[in-house]
Amino acid sequence: MKTTVIFGFLGSKRDAGDTEERWDIWRPTVALGMYSDLRVKRLELFYSPEIVELLNRVTADLHQISPELIVSPHAMPFDDPWDFEEVYAKLFDFMKQYRFDLETEEYLFHIKTGTHAWQICYFLLTEARFFPGKLLQSFAPRPNKPEEKGIGTYHIIDLDTSKYKQIVTRFEQERRDSVTFLKSGIVTRNKAFNELIGQIEMVALRTREPILLTGGTGTGKSQLAKRIYELKKFQERVSGQFVAVNAATLRGEQAMSTLFGYIKGSFTGAGADRAGLLLTANRGVLFLDEIGELGLDEQAMLLRAIEEKHFLPVGSDAEVESDFQLIAATNKDLNDNIVTGTFREDLLARINLWTFCLPDLKDRCEDIEPNIDYELVQYALRNNQKIMFNKDARERFTGFAVSLEAEWRANFRDLNAAVVRMATLSTGGRITIETVENEIEHLRTNWNRQVKKDEDVLLLQTILGKERLAELDLFDAVQLAKVLRICRESKSLAESGRKLFQYSRTKKKSANDTDRVSKYLAAFGLDWENVKDQ
């Protein structure tokens, strides 16, 4: 059997009494040694230094009624016993150094005496398991119970809520509601995705550390970030705003001033002080989409702002403070950016604490149908018009949507666009099989165009490498991809020249198409041999 140890605070008023009549008065601390069904081995008794005389009297009374009870007094001076911060700090420090023996002892915290600040701190320390025990609440004798005279009653409270079925049920329902909220109310069926959202829900409500959302374009990163903020706001985990910005839209000085703000006169056009997005997001959430597009200088300042909550506005010598939570998103592998020198390794290490990769829509086939229904509901809300599928039309589109033929290259953006187009072209509030067939053909054509574009990018990457390709203007990239493709399809440099300059060569007396192609390739550091060999 484990022995019982009670922690308590000596009450200057409730435990007072120095005459024989004190035995008829209920004194909560003295009563701890009088309960016949509560055998106490040791009482760890906190007291204010100015009431030492009362401590000695109560200790003597406890020994009189319970000779085996050990009273261990601990002086606990306070500047203000009602100061919650001071009380919690001193109790926490005491519990941190106290040697608990959980194998042979069980612990109770007597919460009847002391200020309300004391009692609240008892509760918090016990609930957080810094105090590994239970709460002991004692009550004064009831007038109609003479046998309780001077003793009263007590009740033990176990704050391990997992033991209380009704509370556990409420917690589970609350969590299910939170997870459903993050999924926009969509009853998703994909097990891996549901587990992922469950993890995100726990992290969102338990931490203010950065969260990194990865995944392909259109997988729902932006929408999820907003829902995380709204959940935290509802649960009173944040009080500030949700501030969103796409890093791909920030360039040069504009990036610095937009993110970190500026002071009047810091550059041409800065006619007044302006708060940046980081300051606007104070006590709220900053959502930085496509963080991989952020410049290196901005990355360095962002890292400091995350770690220290301080940063310098453009042109200012005085730091400002902003306690924001960062949610970042990217559709790239930031480790590749580190290799190319376009992303800071220390920043990735800081924002990579909680990383969640959202799967592509084609990897969640069982969730496509409920998402189609969701998109129809959203269309109805926006346009005040309810649209439904004919039975055969729904079967046709759903069958196509979950097939291998459906690429969903832009994920939910593709699905949303498809539903909007079909709903807009529907007649009489019904989407027909004809409308579905036209939409399927539209999607096929669009995806085929994207495949060709991707093939061009792959060809340029193979021959030039990612770094050199990133330095090309779109105009040059499109033209060079076409030239390289024709060169690869030709048997010789001369043949490629004839194909590329088939009209202009007829206007010249002596066409030198081979030289023209060679010079064009040389402008990009290429020649015929390495174009054909790669």
Centre a 10 Å sphere on the Cβ of residue 329 and count the other Cβ atoms it contains: 24
- Work out the number of other CB atoms within 10 angstroms of the CB of residue 226: 16
Distance CA 384, CA 318 (A): 52
Q: For residue 187, which of 416, 391, 368 has the smallest C-alpha distance?
A: 368
Cβ–Cβ < 8 Å for 361, 190: no
Confirm if 219 and 361 have CB atoms less than 8 A apart: yes
* Pair (278, 310) in one structural domain: yes
Same domain, 275 and 323: yes
- CA atoms 191, 193, 196, 198: torsion sign: negative
- State which amino acid sits at residue 459: L
The CATH number linked to 399 is: 1.10.8.60
In a shared domain, residues 57 and 147: yes
- Residue 471 domain-assigned? no
Residue 473: inside a domain, yes or no?
no
What lies within 8 Å, CB to CB, of 200 at 6+ separation is 182, 211, 224, 228, 356
Q: How many CB atoms lie within 10 A of CB 291?
A: 28
Domain boundary among 298, 324, 357: 357
Same domain, 311 and 331: yes
Handedness of CA 267, 270, 273, 277 (dihedral sign): negative
Q: Are residues 350 and 485 in the same domain?
A: no
Q: What is the number of structural domains in the chain?
A: 4
For the domain that residue 59 is a member of, what is the CATH number? 3.40.50.10770
Each residue's pLDDT, cut to its tens digit, for the chain (534 residues) gives 789 999 999 988 888 888 888 888 889 999 998 888 888 999 999 999 999 999 999 999 999 989 899 999 999 888 888 888 888 888 888 988 888 888 899 999 998 887 888 888 888 888 777 888 889 988 988 888 887 788 888 898 887 655 555 554 555 565 566 777 777 777 788 899 989 988 998 898 888 999 999 999 999 999 999 999 998 888 888 889 999 999 888 877 788 888 888 777 677 667 677 888 999 999 999 999 999 999 898 899 999 999 999 888 887 888 888 999 999 999 989 998 898 889 999 999 999 999 999 999 989 999 999 999 989 989 988 888 889 999 999 999 999 999 988 989 899 999 999 999 999 999 888 999 999 999 999 999 988 877 666 677 777 888 888 778 778 887 888 888 888 888 888 888 888 888 888 777 667 655 677 888 888 888 888 888 878 766
pLDDT in tens, 120-158: 888 888 877 788 888 998 898 888 888 778 888 889 888
Last residue of a domain, one of 159, 193, 208: 159
Task: Please name the amino acid found at residue 375.
Answer: E
Domain contains 320: yes
What range defines the domain where residue 501 resides? 478-533
Instruction: For strands 153-157 and 285-289, give the pairing.
Output: unpaired
Instruction: Please identify which residue in the block is written with the tokens 């909560």.
Output: 28
Cα angle, residue 307 at apex, residues 306 and 313 outer, rounded to 5°: 55
| pLDDT tens, residue by residue, 187-222 | 788 899 989 988 998 898 888 999 999 999 999 999
d(CA 212, CA 306): 13
Question: What's the pLDDT score for residue 168?
Answer: 47
Identify whether 461 is part of a domain.
no
| Cross-strand bridge partners of residue 7 | 44, 109
Residues in the chain: 534
End-to-end CA distance of the chain: 79
Q: Are residues 206 and 341 in the same domain?
A: yes
Query: Between β-strands 310-311 and 320-321, what pairing exists: parallel, antiparallel or unpaired?
Result: antiparallel
In a shared domain, residues 308 and 204: yes
DSSP, collapsed to helix, strand or coil, labels residue 388 as strand
Which of these three, 159, 187, 218, is where a domain ends? 159
pLDDT tens, position by position, 240-283: 999 999 988 887 778 888 888 877 767 766 767 788 899 999 99
DSSP string, 114-157: S-HHHHHHHHHHHHTTSS-SEEEEEEPPPTT-GGGTTT-EEEEE
pTM of the model: 0.59
Same domain, 225 and 337: yes
Rounded distance between C-alpha atoms, residue 234 and residue 60, angstroms: 53
Same domain, 143 and 202: no
Give the CA angle between residues 243, 245, 250 to the nearest 5°: 140
Same domain for 185 and 114, yes or no, is no
Residue carrying the six token digits 């320390």: 125
For residue 458, give Cα distances in angstroms to 353, 532, 534.
32, 15, 12
Residue 45, φ and ψ in degrees, nearest 5: -110, 115
